[in-house]
């Protein structure tokens, strides 16, 4: 793992499919560390133990499910957070002990923001760090491409176009300092933003999504 913010660590990259790269992120807190997304890298999990373990693991959606969930539960006693819309998929691995179903604040400074579209239970998290920055975890709803642009992960099968656009409107209104995706095109997975940049990035991603959908429907 490497430290990318005073209280945030990024795991080593994993490559679960051609062109797809993933990271998880450990938020270090005095009241219990939170792991966003998922990883199966043993060395990283050992380093998490040295940093105080994992009290909570919050998944952004069903694509992050794997047998590794049991490792965090058995080794650290980690509670698992996931959206109720994907409870059946979660149950094949582990039933969430923290259920997401609405926009609310968890653990004092983690805002849970349902952002369906990529999948029915897609969820984003906005963390207000005591070190002065806001971290926005977008899962696959918005991800960093190989060209380092912010993109959507819409699929004709499995995604909901109208819900996706509504979720992008919700995300556009936020004011993050760092945006952090789960999947990436291979260039790091996170982006530090300058003031005022975020709404424009989301709008461009929305425009590309609308354009791509138009092309698909016309073909």
Q: What is the pLDDT of residues 23-54, one digit of tens each?
A: 999 999 999 999 999 999 999 999 999 999 99
Residues facing 178 on adjacent strands? 135, 192
Lowest mean pLDDT among 33-42, 85-94, 172-181, 187-196: 187-196
Q: In what order do the strands lie in the sheet with 142-144?
A: 14-17, 20-22, 183-184, 142-144, 150-152
Rounded percentage of the chain residues whose pLDDT exceeds 90: 84
pLDDT tens readout for residues 71-81: 999 999 999 99
> Other CB atoms closer than 10 Å to residue 98's CB: what's the count?
14
Cα separation, 95 vs 190, whole angstroms = 28
Catalogue all structural domains in the chain, each as residue range(s) with its CATH number: 2-218 (3.60.15.10)
- Note the pLDDT of residue 217: 54
- Note the pLDDT of residue 219: 43
Cα separation, 203 vs 166, whole angstroms = 12
CA–chain centroid gap for 146, Å, is 17
Residues facing 79 on adjacent strands? 56
Task: Reduce the DSSP state of residue 20 to 3 states and report it.
Answer: strand
- Note the pLDDT of residue 214: 62
């Amino acid at each position: 793992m490497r430290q990318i913010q005073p209280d945030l660590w990024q795991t080593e990259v994993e490559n679960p499919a051609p062109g797809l790269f993933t990271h998880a992120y450990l938020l270090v807190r005095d009241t219990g560390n939170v792991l966003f997304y998922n990883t199966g890298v043993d060395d990283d999990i050992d380093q998490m133990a040295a940093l105080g373990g994992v009290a909570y693991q919050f998944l952004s959606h069903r694509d992050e499910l794997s047998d590794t969930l049991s490792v965090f539960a058995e080794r650290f006693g980690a509670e698992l957070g996931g959206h109720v819309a994907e409870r059946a998929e979660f149950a094949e691995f582990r039933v969430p002990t923290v259920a997401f179903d609405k926009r609310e604040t968890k653990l004092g400074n983690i805002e849970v923001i349902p952002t369906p579209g990529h999948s029915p239970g897609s969820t984003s998290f906005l963390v207000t760090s005591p070190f002065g920055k806001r971290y926005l975890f977008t899962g696959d709803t918005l991800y960093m491409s190989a060209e380092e642009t912010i993109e959507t992960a819409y699929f004709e099968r499995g995604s909901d176009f109208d819900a996706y656009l509504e979720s992008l409107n919700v995300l556009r209104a936020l004011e993050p300092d760092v945006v952090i995706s789960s999947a990436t095109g291979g260039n790091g997975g996170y982006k530090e933003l300058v003031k005022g940049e975020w709404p424009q990035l989301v709008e461009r991603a929305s425009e590309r999504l609308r354009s791509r959908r138009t092309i698909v429907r016309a073909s």
